């Protein structure tokens, strides 16, 4: 393309802040990931680090921000009239003063102070001979291809940039196009008309870029892929995890028709954070509490609220509306635990281990095992379902026949197990009688039916007892997954939200009992769920304590402030994010996040700094309109 065409295209794509930004690529430094000390300090997403030098302008330091994108011409020139640029993300910006660089700690002290004092005035000038701005940037593994007709496209892959070439800064319009165009075209919305109202605009917040110019760039995600391929929210206490999670859930529920949400709310705060939806008479939802509540005062006291809303009487009016609409129930714990088919199979596996040296015992176990599987297949049953009376009578006959046929000794453990199956009939009978006398509470099966009901969109399980909610999480997720497998069902999507995820998916090596069982079950959902339309959201403040096998299944993640270095290192290693970019999160205020996704954002695997919309504004708006 000729110079005039080139300038026209560049003006459409790049900005120089009215002539202030003049930069060149000074160096491209290879990174080595051999597992040594350097690997502990850098992420694994980029093979190179780029150093860019900029002519000093006093206003530039207030305009440049980490997260902005640079473009530098590379060696892969496609054809005449086509320019190809390597894209890179700014990870660090700092100014340098020539005089201060030469200052030695061993120099005469009064001279040191004089040089430092004189440099202060220099910063207020545009003296390019004395000062310079330096930038560290990380290639994002995308190329920008610009054509002479004004069209451009993005190509996945890394191309080595030409050292010494000018570095161009992508303008806000290009940033909006890169991050949002694919999503906004899919949603049929105009990103230029963005608003904060959750019911009007499905945006999650704003991109933290060009803020000094008061330029607004919204950020959108593909909700279907966000839900189906799992996402995580990681930040220290006070970073706004629950605020962001409820913000994302509100957008999903309001702007996607084929998605349900099940919240395992161990902290009991989402009854407040989603109050506007729960109190909406046309929005089908249910809150399941740990105990029955008889008054709005009890309900109000059971809900955890932000400090400024702890004594706000308007919330009681909102909760009263929720109760009047019959949207509040309580969980009925199983008093009599009826075994499930998986328990029969596990017990037979244990018997097999104990009798490995006795072939005739093994034959008896195999016969019973095959009979269990045959019964389940014939009746279309899943491992997670409770056994019924017909099965118990059937397997009791098979088990007694097997131990007699294969001469199992009547003093052995296998014989005792096989001849005592009818005792389960009493457990089933007692459970049935107990359920008849109890009204108002919801069993696990009732909750599962509620989730699968066509009209229900949101089920919030606000249960603070860790053992109870873990037990419910195991039973409910087992049943949902097994039923979906049996029906080959994908839609509607069901998003399972695990708040305070360290309670549900602890590292399996450090856990035991129900903690280990729950961790393995949630991991199973994360590994297999997306094939059957079951997505998961993991929200936690201490990622280092989680099951890493489960974390590796997440395709989208929001990272807030994580002060512990090991947590940041684990994020860097698990999600392939550059450590230099991740360090920026230490400066975040509550509500600011690093967003990256392999599949749900407009451009894959590129870290984006965002400022999420504040969910408390939605709640405040509801309280003002309905006080």
Q: What are the tens digits of pLDDT across the range 160-170?
A: 999 999 999 99
Chain CA centroid to CA 124, Å: 44
Query: CA nearest 317: which of 288, 289, 297?
Result: 297
Q: Kindly state the percentage of the chain with pLDDT values over 70.
A: 94
Amino acid 440: pLDDT: 61
For 241-271, letters b (16+ CB in 10 Å) and e give bbbbbbbbbbbbbbbbeebbbbbbbbebbbb
Chain CA centroid to CA 488, Å: 26
d(CA 394, CA 392): 5
- The predicted model gives 227-237 an average pLDDT of 94
- Domains parsed from the chain with CATH numbers: 3-170 (no CATH), 241-332+438-555 (3.40.50.300), 341-434 (no CATH)
d(CA 314, CA 45): 48
Continuous segment of H or E residues that includes residue 289 = strand 285-289
d(CA 36, CA 249): 41
CB–CB of 242/266 below 8 Å? no
d(CA 396, CA 561): 58
* SS3 category, 148: coil
- Taking each continuous run of H as one helix and of E as one strand, the counts in the chain are 24, 21
Amino acid 34: pLDDT: 47
Lowest-confidence range among 5-9, 67-71, 237-241, 357-361? 5-9
CB–CB of 245/539 below 8 Å? yes
Name the pLDDT band for 40 (thresholds 50, 70, 90): very low
Name the pLDDT band for 4 (thresholds 50, 70, 90): low
Q: Read off the tokens for 102.
A: 């030469």
* pLDDT surpasses 70 at 438: no
Q: Cβ contacts of residue 103 below 8 Å, gap of 6+?
A: 112, 115, 116
* Residue 268 CB-half CA count within 13 A: 16
- Output the CA torsion 248→252→254→260 (10° steps): -120
* pLDDT surpasses 90 at 250: yes
Query: CA nearest 230: which of 594, 623, 522, 427?
Result: 522
Q: Read off the tokens for 116.
A: 């430092």
Q: What is the radius of gyration, based on Cα positions, of the chain?
A: 30
Q: Which residue has the higher pLDDT, 358 or 262?
A: 262
For 472-514, the pLDDT digits (tens) are: 999 999 989 988 988 888 999 999 999 999 999 998 877 788 9
Q: Read off the tokens for 309.
A: 């809303």
d(CA 242, CA 233): 9
* SS3 category, 453: coil
- The predicted model gives 382-401 an average pLDDT of 86
The strand pairing partners of 167, in sequence order, are 23, 72
d(CA 343, CA 391): 13
Query: CA nearest 558: which of 261, 252, 230, 142?
Result: 230
Amino acid 169: pLDDT: 95
Query: CA nearest 348: which of 329, 324, 327, 373?
Result: 373
Name the pLDDT band for 41 (thresholds 50, 70, 90): very low
What secondary structure does DSSP assign to 537-572, as a single string?
EEEES-GGGB-HHHHTT-SEEEE----SHHHHHHHH
Q: Cβ contacts of residue 470 below 8 Å, gap of 6+?
A: 503, 504, 514, 515, 518
For 9-39, the pLDDT digits (tens) are: 567 889 999 999 999 999 999 876 544 444 4
Amino acid 488: pLDDT: 86
Query: CA nearest 618: which of 317, 227, 254, 304?
Result: 254
Other residues' Cβ atoms within 10 Å of the Cβ of residue 104:
8
Query: CA nearest 270: which of 308, 236, 242?
Result: 242
User: What Cα–Cα distance (Å) separates residue 426 from each residue in 346, 392, 430, 595?
Assistant: 21, 11, 6, 54
d(CA 231, CA 554): 5
d(CA 253, CA 273): 14
Query: CA nearest 416: which of 356, 477, 347, 464?
Result: 347
Task: Tokens 């984006």: give the residue.
Answer: 608
d(CA 582, CA 559): 8
For 59-83, letters b (16+ CB in 10 Å) and e give ebeebbebbbbbbbbbebeeeeeeb
Name the pLDDT band for 8 (thresholds 50, 70, 90): low
- pTM value? 0.85
Q: Kindly state the percentage of the chain with pLDDT values over 90.
A: 53
Lowest-confidence range among 39-53, 76-90, 283-297, 392-406? 39-53
* pLDDT surpasses 60 at 68: yes
d(CA 38, CA 35): 7
């Amino acid at each position: 393309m000729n110079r005039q065409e080139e300038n026209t295209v560049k003006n459409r794509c790049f900005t120089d802040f009215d002539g202030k930004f003049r930069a060149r690529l000074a160096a491209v430094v290879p990174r080595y990931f051999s597992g040594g000390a350097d690997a502990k300090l850098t992420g694994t997403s980029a093979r190179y680090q780029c150093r860019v030098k900029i002519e000093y302008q006093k206003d530039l330091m207030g305009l440049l921000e980490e997260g902005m994108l640079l473009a530098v011409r590379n060696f892969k020139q496609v054809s005449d009239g086509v320019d190809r640029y390597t894209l890179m993300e700014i990870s660090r910006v700092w100014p340098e003063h020539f005089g201060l660089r030469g200052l030695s700690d061993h120099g005469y002290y009064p001279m040191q102070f004089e040089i430092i004092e004189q440099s202060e005035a220099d910063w207020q000038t545009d003296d390019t001979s004395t000062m310079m701005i330096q930038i560290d940037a990380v290639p994002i593994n995308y190329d920008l291809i610009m054509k002479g007709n004004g069209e451009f496209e993005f190509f996945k892959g890394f191309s080595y940039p030409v050292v010494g070439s000018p570095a161009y800064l992508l303008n806000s319009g290009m940033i909006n196009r890169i991050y949002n165009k694919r999503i906004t075209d899919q949603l049929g919305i105009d990103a230029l008309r963005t608003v904060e109202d959750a019911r009007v605009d499905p945006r999650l917040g704003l991109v933290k870029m060009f803020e000094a110019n008061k330029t607004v760039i919204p950020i959108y995600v593909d909700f279907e892929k966000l839900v189906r391929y799992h996402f995580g929210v990681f930040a220290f206490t006070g970073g706004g995890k629950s605020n962001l999670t409820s913000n994302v859930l509100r957008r999903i529920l309001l702007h996607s028709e084929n998605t349900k949400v099940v919240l395992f709310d161990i902290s009991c705060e989402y009854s407040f954070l989603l109050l506007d939806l729960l109190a909406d008479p046309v929005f089908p939802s249910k809150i399941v509490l740990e105990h029955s509540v008889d008054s709005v005062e009890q309900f109000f006291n059971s809900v955890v609220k932000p400090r400024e809303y702890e004594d706000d009487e308007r919330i009681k009016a909102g909760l009263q509306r929720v109760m009047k609409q019959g949207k509040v129930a309580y969980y009925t714990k199983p008093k009599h635990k009826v075994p499930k088919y998986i328990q029969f199979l596990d017990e037979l596996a244990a018997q097999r281990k104990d009798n490995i040296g006795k072939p005739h015992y093994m034959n008896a176990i195999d016969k019973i095992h095959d009979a269990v599987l045959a019964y389940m297949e014939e009746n279309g049953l899943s491992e997670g379902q409770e056994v019924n009376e017909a099965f118990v009578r059937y397997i009791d006959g098979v088990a007694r026949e097997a131990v007699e046929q294969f001469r199992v000794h009547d003093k052995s453990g296998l014989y005792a197990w096989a001849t005592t199956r009818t005792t389960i009939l009493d457990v089933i009978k007692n459970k049935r009688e107990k359920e008849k006398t109890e009204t108002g509470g919801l069993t696990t099966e009732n909750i599962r039916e509620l989730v699968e009901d066509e009209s229900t969109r949101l089920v919030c399980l606000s249960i603070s007892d860790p053992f109870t909610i873990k037990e419910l999480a195991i039973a409910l997720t087992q049943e949902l997954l097994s039923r979906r497998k049996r029906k080959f069902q994908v839609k509607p999507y069901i998003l399972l939200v695990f708040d305070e995820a360290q309670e549900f998916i602890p590292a399996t090596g450090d856990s035991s009992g129900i903690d280990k069982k729950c961790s393995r079950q949630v991991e199973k959902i994360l590994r297999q769920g997306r094939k059957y339309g079951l997505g998961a959201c993991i929200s936690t403040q201490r990622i280092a304590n989680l099951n890493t096998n489960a974390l590796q299944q997440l395709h989208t993640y929001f990272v807030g402030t994580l002060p512990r270095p090991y947590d940041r290192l684990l994020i860097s290693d698990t999600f392939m994010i550059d450590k230099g970019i991740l360090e920026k999160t230490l400066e975040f205020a509550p509500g600011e996040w690093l967003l990256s996704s392999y599949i749900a954002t407009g451009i894959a695997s590129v870290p984006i700094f965002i400022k999420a919309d504040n969910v408390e504004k939605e709640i405040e708006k509801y309280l003002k309109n309905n006080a």
